[in-house]
Amino acid sequence: MELRNKTLMITGIMSAVIMLGVYGILYTIMYQNFTTLEQKNVMGIIQDADARLADDAIQLGRILGDWASWDDTYVFIEDKNDAYVKSNLEDASLAAAHINIIGFYGTDGKTVLVKMVKIGDAPANAVPAELENIAQECLKYGNGSAQGIMILGGRLATVATRPILTSKGEGPTMGTVLMARYVSREEIAALAGTRGITTTMWQLGGVAPIDYQSAADSMFTSGNSTTILPISDTETAGYFIAKDMHGKPVAIFRATIPRDSYAEFKKNALYMFAMIFTAVVVFGGLNFVLLDRFLLSRIRRLGEQAEQIGKTDGNMENVVPDNSRDEITQLADDINRMLARLRAAQHELLRSQISYNSRLHKEVKQKTHQLVGVNARLRSMESKKNQFLFNMGHELKSPLTVIEMNLAIARNGGLTKEQREESKRMINRNMKRLKQKIEEIIQLSRFEYGKAVQKSEMDFVALVREVVGDYYDFASVKGISIHLEGFGQRVMVMGDHRLLQYALGNLFSNAVKYCDEKDIDVKIERKGKEVVFSIANQGAEIKHENRRKLFRKFFKEDQNAPGTGVGLFMTREIVREHSGKVWYEPNKPRGAIFYFSIPAMNGGRLNEKK
């Protein structure tokens, strides 16, 4: 539910509650005031009615007073003269005074005379039985003076009694005189006196109309002598209990009163409701409009801006704070601060991403380059290996072919003796070459797989002499003579005989192969803890740019030239295996000198011999 709708709902509910609450409270107060007023009014009316009834009795008593304190009456009780009756108890004058009954009683309470007057529908034939009893009680409990209402023969009447005294009001009392006046229905109706109000009566004892009964119940239960029971919206009724002279309840009076003010009250309540309703609606509406204008719309706007920011393609522009310095402005400021940090973080992220990417790119490039290099090296190695195998095939085939051809010559014969000798030497030479080549393969594979070196103590000079022997013939074919220097000594070394023999053989083989002139100089020198071997020829020089590559595996100055390109590599590996080093120097005026040095044993003595 939207904030706006929620606010509208809350405002509505609050307005309704306030409206109903205020209305309820005001209505209750008004209603109570009204009711109190009405009750007071009704009470006044019924009390008036009650008082009027009492007044009637008092008025009757006053009339009776003239009769009671009168010498004539005093005398009449004593002598009972007819004259008194004739002159004073005339029907017409009594009727004019609206007196239904007048009775005279002696001091013993016995009836002296009762005179009944016929007025309207009032009965005048039978003397109500109650009268004598009243007179007796009057004499018994008081001085004989009393007034009130009584039910006489089933009809309501006002009754007054007075003691019979002289005109001077002196006694002794001759008895009591009683007057009764029946209260007619019209009189009862007029009891309340006011226009529009009618009074009715119900004598206790009979079957009561329902409202009298409930009023009676109410009054007898509460002990009050009055009660008010609204009949309808337009009428209410006030009740009171009328008691007779004995204090005994005899009738209930009801005053039916029109509720003019109740209608007024209801109208006022309606006005009030309308006013409250209007006020609440106006205030509620105004409240909502102001809330919406000053708070909700701002929150909504902020929300919309935040939503824009929240979208994936939304930009991260600042929200627009308004000028009211309150929490919402603060929130906008907070959002802006957050956005600023977010932008900074995004920027930072982007930057680090870029830097990471570029680093990655660089690294990948570098690695790729390395891989390309490695691959190229591997390819080159592979091709060199293939070249090596191809060359080795040639290298092996060459001496083999020579041997084969010479063996064929030997089989076929037909040559001079000299030629046959030559042929034999060729076979021997090439057998040695073959052996050297095969040795090369074996040593190479030994170096490739495991480097099984078996060193033992031996005389280095003797070893070199052995190798010279192997190559002497080869050299002499080319007309080369080998000069030895430093061979008259023993230099003991720890070495692998076979490997060193191969290494030396390789150097000899190269020296002879590339020698153009007739001399090769081989020298053995003891230098400190090392023995240095050198072999120098005169012939082709190593090109300057190739000098560093000489000892690399498969290196050949001329790819088409015979040879496998592993000889010098193997030589270097072998010398290194003996903790020595091998190097090249150009010879003068031309040619090459190859050196190698390995540690000599301490026990070796310089033993120069001719």
| Shorter beta-carbon distance to other proteins: residue 513 or 523 | 513
Residues that bind other proteins (CB under 8 A): 389-390, 393-394, 397-402, 404-409, 412-415, 419, 422-423, 426, 429-430, 477-478, 558, 560-562
CB of 502 to other proteins, least distance (A): 21
The Cα 600–Cα 387 span in angstroms is: 38
Q: How far is the CB of 432 from other proteins (least distance, A)?
A: 11
Nearer to other proteins, 75 or 441 (CB): 441
Question: Hey, which bits of 491-556 come out as E strands?
Answer: 492-495, 519-527, 530-536
Q: How far is the CB of 404 from other proteins (least distance, A)?
A: 4
Based on CB atoms, which residue is closest to other proteins, 2 or 418?
418
Q: Could you tell me where the DSSP H helices lie in 413-557? A: 417-448, 460-477, 497-513
At residue 130, the 3 state secondary structure works out as: helix
**CB of residue 511 to other proteins, shortest distance in Å:** 15
**Angle formed by the axes of helices 497-513 and 567-577, nearest 10°:** 140
- Number of residues that make up the chain: 610
CB 114 within 8 Å of CB 131:
yes
Select 456 or 560, whichever has its Cβ closest to other proteins.
560
Nearer to other proteins, 434 or 463 (CB): 434
Amino acid identity, position 38: E
Cβ distance to other proteins smaller for residue 298 or 556: 556
What is the DSSP pairing of strand 198-203 with strand 226-230? unpaired
- How many other CB atoms sit within 10 Å of the CB of residue 461? 23
Q: Where are the alpha helices (DSSP H) in 485-556?
A: 497-513
Q: Each residue of 378-401: b (16+ CB within 10 Å) or e?
A: eeeeeebeebbeebbeebbeebee
Please state the closest distance from residue 381 (CB atom) to other proteins, in A. 19
Q: Which is nearer to other proteins, 263 or 415 (CB)?
A: 415
DSSP label of 600: P
Between 218 and 423, name the residue whose CB sits nearer to other proteins: 423
Burial of 232 (0-12, 13-18, 19+ CB in 10 A): exposed
- Closer residue to other proteins (CB): 265 or 554: 554
- The answer to whether 536 and 512 have CB atoms below 8 angstroms apart is no
Q: Shortest approach of other proteins to residue 413 CB, angstroms?
A: 8
Report the nearest approach of other proteins to the CB of residue 572 (Å). Answer: 22
Strands 581-586, 519-527: pairing kind: unpaired
CA–CA gap between residue 287 and residue 264 (Å, rounded): 34
Least Å distance between CB 448 and other proteins? 20
Whole-number Å distance between alpha carbons of 371 and 365: 10
CB closer to other proteins, 365 vs 478: 478
* Least distance (Å) between residue 582 CB and other proteins: 23
Contact 237, 231 (CB under 8 A): yes
The 8-class DSSP code of residue 515 comes to B
**Strand pairing of 519-527 and 481-485?**
parallel
Shortest Cβ distance from residue 565 to other proteins (Å)? Answer: 13
